[in-house]
Every structure is written in C-alpha cells, then in structure tokens.
Amino acid sequence: KNEVEQSPQNLTAQEGEFITINCSYSVGISALHWLQQHPGGGIVSLFMLSSGKKKHGRLIATINIQEKHSSLHITASHPRDSAVYICAVGGGTGNQFYFGTGTSLTVIP
Amino acid sequence: NAGVTQTPKFQVLKTGQSMTLQCAQDMNHEYMSWYRQDPGMGLRLIHYSVGAGITDQGEVPNGYNVSRSTTEDFPLRLLSAAPSQTSVYFCASSYRARNTEAFFGQGTRLTVV
C-alpha cells in the first residue's frame, strides 16, 4: 500500500507553462514536505506546510487537510525547473516520513 | 555551515564485504535518518535516531546497523553487502522528528556486485 500518491509520474512542459503536481496521502500527518531532486543530485527541501498555502518565487504549495491533498504549482516554468519533485508527509504519531515516488518534470526551451 | 555531509558519493562493493556510509551534520539537529532510494519506489526509511544514544528501525532495516554516539554523526554500516543493497542512500537531518524542515545529504550511489 502507498501512503503517499503523486500524479502525474512524468510531465513534459514547454518553457513558460504553468505546472501542477498533485499529492494525495492516506495517513494522519503533522506536516507535508515538497522536495526537489535534480538528476544525479541531492535532495533539497522546497516547502514544509501543515495548512493553507506557501509561496517562494515562482513556486506555490497548497494543502487541504480535510481532503488529504496537496499541490505544487510552478508558474512561468523554466528548463532549470527540470527535476524530480517528491512529496513527503511526516507521520502524525510516529517519527517517520512517508514518501511519494516522485514526479519527473522536464521543461523544454 | 556545511549542512549534511555524506560520504562517499560512489562506492562499489563485492558481495559479502562490509562498509560504513558516513553522515555528519553541523546544525545541532536531534533527528537523523537514513533512506534508500530505488527505481519506481519512494524513499524508504532504514534507521533513524531522535538523539545521541537513541536509534530505532525503520521500514527496511535488515542488513544495516547504525549508532549515534554524538549529535553530529550518524553512520550507516552494511554488515555483509548483498546485491539487493544496490541503491542510492540518503542521510537526512532535522531539528525535530516532526514539523521541521529536513536537510538531505548529497547521496551515495552504492553498487554491490
């Protein structure tokens, strides 16, 4: 069973397009994290949120606790946004993160 | 600040060999953890620690040992490497287990032949 489901698995976009990546989870959580992983690279935390919405530059993350759903939006996408985006949830009762399998994004110039 | 330093970046082992993956953080974080990343699967928790002297098993602990003698260091030991342990390994740390930002090391690509 997958506690965290992401969609789509793969996404190709033209430069400038608005992108949405979705994350649904089935466990009670204390916080949800969006992570970015460049090819061959390490993992960087983009957002941590437990309610509402956060914005960093062209990136926006939202979460709906009642629906157990989060979205990551990228406005005016750029080729440097090409990466794998991973949704992770921090368990509400335990000391463990549950990870989605990631969304591989390719932005074409 | 170096953040989370993980070494080595690449390693090839023969079946049955042992090795230690090093992980160090300089942020005085309580929580440290090790994950493996395999194609088509999300990161899976191997072991974690909520503070010096305290460790616990995650989802896939078999074949791995950890210790936490200091706040800064959290090494992962492969006792007798097997081809099934071929994977990319990530160390992570955060101030607490919950509701705090996680910082990841650069990863170790391990191949067991």
**Which of A43, A50, A98 is facing B90, going by the closest CB pair?**
A43
pLDDT digits (tens, 9 = 90+) for A35-66: 999 887 789 999 999 899 999 999 999 999 99
- Burial class of residue B30 in the structure, from the number of CB atoms within 10 Å of its CB (0-12 exposed, 13-18 middle, 19+ buried): middle
- Helices marked H in B47-103 — which ranges? none
- Residue A91 has a pLDDT of 66
Contacts of A86 in chain B (CB under 8 A): 42-43
Work out the average pLDDT over B55-62: 93
Residues of B with CB under 8 A from a CB of A: 31, 33, 35, 40-45, 48, 50, 56, 58-59, 90, 92, 97-107
Contacts of A4 in chain B (CB under 8 A): 42
Q: Does A90 touch chain B (CB under 8 A)?
A: yes
Whether residues A95 and B50 touch (CB distance < 8 A) is answered with: yes
- Residue B1 has a pLDDT of 56
Chains A–B, number of C-beta pairs less than 8 Å apart: 65
Mean pLDDT, rounded, of chain A: 91
Whether residues A43 and B104 touch (CB distance < 8 A) is answered with: yes
- pLDDT confidence bin for B76, thresholds 50/70/90: very high
Contacts of A103 in chain B (CB under 8 A): none
Work out the average pLDDT over B81-86: 97
Whether residues B102 and A33 touch (CB distance < 8 A) is answered with: yes
The set of residues, in sequence order, having a beta carbon less than 8 Å from that of A63 and lying 6+ positions away, is A32, A49, A50, A51, A52, A53, A69, A70
- Residue A35 has a pLDDT of 95
- Residue A92 has a pLDDT of 55
Task: State the Cα–Cα distance between residues A35 and A43, nearest whole angstrom.
Answer: 6
pLDDT digits (tens, 9 = 90+) for B5-41: 999 999 999 999 999 999 999 999 999 999 999 988 8
pLDDT digits (tens, 9 = 90+) for A1-19: 678 999 999 999 999 999 9
Annotate A28-63 with DSSP letters as a single string.
-EEEEEEEEE-TTS-EEEEEEESSEEEEETTEEEEE
CB atoms within 10 A of CB A67: 8
CB atoms within 10 A of CB A83: 21
Q: Does A23 touch chain B (CB under 8 A)?
A: no
Nearest to B27 by CA among B100, B93, B76, B107: B93
